[in-house]
């Protein structure tokens, strides 16, 4: 069996990805230091409590055929407030991991973010758009991309993949527990019970939204892609985005309409714009479009979920 190592396997994305990798027939090596805000561990797939930088973590990955590197100290605010601690994991630790995997000729995929592109000179954003990070979180992700290119994705390396992910939404279950993340759509779903949706100012910032199921499909596809000859000796960048964009105010309007459809006798939801706690850090650009034709061609998949066919499900939950 092909052995796939997953760092950060107990995080939000890891918890959704692990069952799908197992169903695809992979033998799994799973590790997570449990420092994140949630633990998404399935009874059938134990996750070793190991930091990927530790000797134990390195031993778990040493005989893998592919490694999917999800582990990070992530978040715009966390990286801005604790740059030295987060860089030790996200930059120094990640670079050392890639170097060791390269020495063992193990290809690796890296979880990056569309935050790295900053304010691009041209739209739409493609798989060729260069990084232009404007804040610490984005800089650390950009440096992780560069480390992958240098260590495993060069002409003599085993090959690497960068997955730039846009705004994830969706939930999943582990036994009776619902696992979700505090993204804007899930926050709106929780706020709907109060009757008011709170929009971080100015509300005109535009985002690409992609369902968790589609993100997981991309990661499973990349695990297979890294085993092919065309992946070796190069870095391949994938745009893990749906191409479906909306401003935060437009998203709030969609939630209002879906809520009214689900609860015809209830009072209408109101929308209130509030101060943005990340307004002096994150970019608030009103234009954001993504093109992903190369991603679809290399992985042979397209996004199957949309906001339109997901809103009712999320609000009902």
Predicted local distance difference test score (pLDDT) of residue 280: 73
Per-residue pLDDT tens digits for 94-138: 999 999 999 999 999 999 999 999 989 999 999 999 999 999 999
Interval 197-231: pLDDT, tens: 999 999 999 999 999 999 999 999 999 999 999 99
| Domain extent listing, the chain | 3-167+209-240, 168-208+244-288+305-316
Q: Find out whether 49 and 34 touch, Cβ atoms under 8 Å.
A: yes
- Exposed/middle/buried for residue 232 (C-beta within 10 Å: 0-12, 13-18, 19+): middle
Residue 278 has pLDDT above 90, yes or no: no
For range 11-38, the mean pLDDT? 97
Please, which residues bridge with residue 125 across strands? 290
Task: Give dist(CA 152, CA 33) in Å, integer.
Answer: 24
Q: Whose CA is closest to 160, among 96, 214, 215, 227? A: 227
pLDDT of residue 285: 75
Percentages (nearest 5) of helix, strand, coil residues in the chain:
40, 20, 40
pTM of the model as a whole? 0.96
Lookup: tokens for 191: 């706020």
In angstroms, the CA 165 to CA 168 distance is 8
The pLDDT, as a whole number, for residue 182 is: 82
Distance CA 130, CA 306 (A): 27
The third-level CATH classification (topology) of the domain covering 168-208+244-288+305-316 is: UDP-galactose 4-epimerase; domain 1 (3.90.25)
> What is the third-level CATH fold of 3-167+209-240?
Rossmann fold (3.40.50)
Average pLDDT for the chain: 95
**C-alpha R_g of the chain:** 19
Please tell me what DSSP assigns to residue 46. Answer: -
Give pLDDT, residue 279.
73
* Residue 210 CB neighbour total at 10 angstroms: 26
Read off the pLDDT of residues 183-205 as tens digits, 9 standing for 90 and up.
899 899 999 999 999 999 999 99
- pLDDT value at 282 more than 90: no
C-alpha separations of 213 from 114, 219, 254 in Å: 18, 10, 21
- Whether 42 contacts 173, CB under 8 Å: no
Question: What is the C-alpha separation between 134 and 118, in angstroms, rounded?
Answer: 6
Q: What pLDDT, in 10s, does the model give residues 50-93?
A: 999 999 999 999 999 999 999 999 999 999 999 999 999 999 99
Segment holding 98, helix H or strand E? helix 94-103
> What is the spatial distance between Cα 58 and Cα 51, in angstroms, rounded to a whole number?
9
């Amino acid at each position: 069996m092909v052995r796939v190592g997953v760092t950060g396997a107990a995080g939000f994305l890891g918890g959704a990805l692990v069952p799908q990798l197992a169903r695809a027939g992979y033998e799994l090596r799973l590790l997570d230091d449990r420092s994140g805000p949630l633990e998404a561990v399935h009874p059938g797939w134990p996750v070793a409590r190991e930091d990927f930088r530790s000797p134990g973590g390195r031993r778990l990955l040493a005989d893998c055929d592919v490694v999917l590197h999800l582990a990070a100290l992530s978040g715009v605010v966390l990286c801005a407030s604790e740059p030295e601690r987060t860089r030790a994991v996200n930059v120094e630790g990640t670079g050392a991991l890639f170097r060791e995997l390269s020495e063992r000729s193990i290809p690796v995929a890296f979880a990056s973010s569309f935050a790295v592109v900053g304010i691009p000179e041209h739209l739409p954003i493609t798989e060729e758009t260069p990084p232009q990070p404007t804040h610490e979180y984005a800089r650390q992700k950009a440096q992780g991309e560069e480390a992958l290119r240098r260590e495993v994705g060069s002409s003599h390396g085993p090959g690497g993949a960068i997955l730039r992910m846009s705004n994830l939404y969706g939930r999943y279950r582990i036994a009776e527990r619902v696992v979700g993340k505090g993204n804007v759509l899930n926050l709106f779903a929780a706020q709907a019970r109060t009757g008011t949706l709170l929009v971080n100012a100015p509300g005109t910032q535009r985002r690409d939204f992609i369902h968790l199921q589609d993100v997981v499909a991309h990661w499973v596809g990349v695990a297979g892609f890294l085993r092919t000859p065309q992946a070796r000796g190069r870095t391949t960048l994938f745009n893990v985005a749906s191409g479906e964009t909306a401003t935060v105010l437009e998203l709030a309007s969609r939630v209002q309409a879906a809520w009214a459809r689900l609860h015809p006798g209830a009072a209408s939801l109101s929308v209130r714009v509030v101060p943005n706690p990340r307004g002096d850090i994150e970019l608030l650009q009103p234009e954001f479009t993504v093109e992903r034709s190369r991603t679809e061609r290399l992985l042979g998949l397209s996004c199957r979920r949309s906001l339109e066919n997901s809103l009712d499900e999320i609000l009902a939950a």
